[in-house]
Structure 1
Amino acid sequence: MSVNFAESAITSEKELREIVGVPHQNVVHKTISIIDDHCKNFISKSPLFFLATAGAHGHCDVSPRGDSPGSVFVLNDKQLVIPDRPGNKRLDSIMNILENPQVGLLFVIPGLDDVLRINGQATIIKDETILDQMSLKGKPPLLGIGVDVEEAFIHCPRALKQSNIWDYESWEDKATLPTLMEIFQAHLKINGVKING
C-alpha cells in the first residue's frame, strides 16, 4: 500500500503549534553555545556518539561512531575534534561535510538515559599535531573532523527510558536475528550483485 503523505501534511509552524503547543522557557533557554565543564565531562565518558550530516541537496546520513571514552578531543570551550579512523572507505559523513558543514552530534554514556546534543560547523582536517594526540594503539587517525560548536544541550531521558535500551532482559535474543552477513548479502542481491560461493 502506498500512502500519499501530502494529503495529511502539516505545512506551517502555526498549524504545528496548534497541535503540539510551545516549549517551556527553561527548555528553550537550556541551550548554550560553549562546551562547558559538564559537557566536557560527558564527552570524556562517552564511548559512543552519532554524527548527523546532510549533503548539498539535503540527503541525510547518521553515522554511529564508537571508540574509547574520551576519544573525541575537546580543544577548548568552542571546538572539538572527532578522529576519523580507517573504515570501509564509503566516507558518507566526510563527503556530506565537504558539501555542507552543518553537523549534529549525539553523545551516549552506557547505562545513562540522558544524552548530550551538540550542533555546529564541521571541517575536515589533517593537522598532524592534533591528530597525533588522538592516536589509537600508536596510530593517529588519517583525518579529523573539527567542529566549531554553535549549540550544546542535555536532552531529556524519555526516549532511552521508553526503549529500555539498557535493560538487558528486554533485549532480543541474538539467535532470532539475521546476521550482518545475511543482511549484507540480501541487499547485494536486491541490487543485482552476484555473490560467489
Structure 2
Amino acid sequence: MRLLQKRNFAIVGTPHEHVIKKNTSLIDEHCKRFIEMSPLFFLSSSNAEGECDVSPKGDFPSGVQVLNNKQLVIPDRPGNKRVDSIINILSNPHVGLLFLIPGLGEVLRINGRATIIKNPEILSSMSLKGKPPLLGIGVDVEECFIHCPRALYQSKVWNSDSWPDKADLPSSLEIFHAALRHNGVELKK
C-alpha cells in the first residue's frame, strides 16, 4: 500500500486522515460485492518504457472473478487482437483498475501486480456463452479503495438529459476511417 503521508503536499495541502487511511490491500466483502456488480471497468497498464494504455473492459456483472481477498482474475475475451494490456504486463506488471456501476457516482480503484494466466480450471469457470476466455489477467491486489463521486456527478455522465446529440458527434467509423487515412490506408468508396 502506498503511504500517502510520505508525500509532499506543500502545493495542494494535506488530505484528511480518513482519506489517507481509506486505502487497504485487501478486497473485503464490500469491495467484492462492488466488483461483482460492475459490468464495466478500465484497465490501465504501461510497458517498461512507461508508454501507457487504458482499456475499457465490459462484461456481465461478476465477469471478474475474485479468487480471495488479495487476488482477482480478469477474463481476456476475444476482441480486436491488439493485446496492448497483455504486451504491457509482460514487461511491467503494474496495473490499475477502475470499476464502475451504472448510475453510481463512486468508483472502486484497485492497483496491483498482474500476471498472464492460462489455468484451464480458472478460465473455464469464467466462460461466457459456453466459451472460456483464451487468457486471464491475474492481479495481486496492493491497493484497494473507494473513490469519491465528484467527477462522475459533475460530468453528469449518468444523466441522459446532459448527453450530446449523437448527430453532432463523429461516429466511431468516421474516426476509424480518418485514422486509417492518416496512416496511408486508401479506403474504397
Quickly name the TM-score band, shorter chain normalised. Answer: over 0.9
Q: Offset at 1:64?
A: 0.3
Percent of residue pairs identical: 67
Give the Cα separation in 2 of the matches to 1:182 and 1:29: 46
Once the two structures are superposed, residues 10-43 of structure 1 have per-residue CA deviations (whole angstroms, 9 ceiling, x without a partner) of xxx75xx332111111101000111000000000
Q: Offset at 1:192?
A: 1.3
The answer on 1:35 being equivalent to 2:14 is no
Count of residues paired in the alignment: 183
Dislocated runs of 4+, deviation >3 Å: none
- Find the counterpart in structure 2 of residue 130 from structure 1: 122
- Find the counterpart in structure 2 of residue 47 from structure 1: 39
- Find the counterpart in structure 1 of residue 165 from structure 2: 173
Q: Offset at 1:179?
A: 1.1
Residue identity in the other structure for 1:116: L
- TM-score w.r.t. structure 2 length? 0.95
Once the two structures are superposed, residues 117-140 of structure 1 have per-residue CA deviations (whole angstroms, 9 ceiling, x without a partner) of 001000000000000000000000
Runs (5+) with no aligned partner, structure 2: 1-6
Q: Offset at 1:73?
A: 0.3
- Find the counterpart in structure 1 of residue 3 from structure 2: none
The answer on 1:79 being equivalent to 2:71 is yes
Give the Cα separation in 2 of the matches to 1:123 and 1:155: 25
The answer on 1:61 being equivalent to 2:53 is yes
- Structure number with greater Rg is 1
The answer on 1:98 being equivalent to 2:90 is yes
Give the Cα separation in 1 of the matches to 2:92 and 2:11: 32
Structure 2 residue corresponding to 1:191, chosen from 174, 183, 189: 183
Give the Cα separation in 2 of the matches to 1:174 and 1:181: 13
- TM-score w.r.t. structure 1 length? 0.91
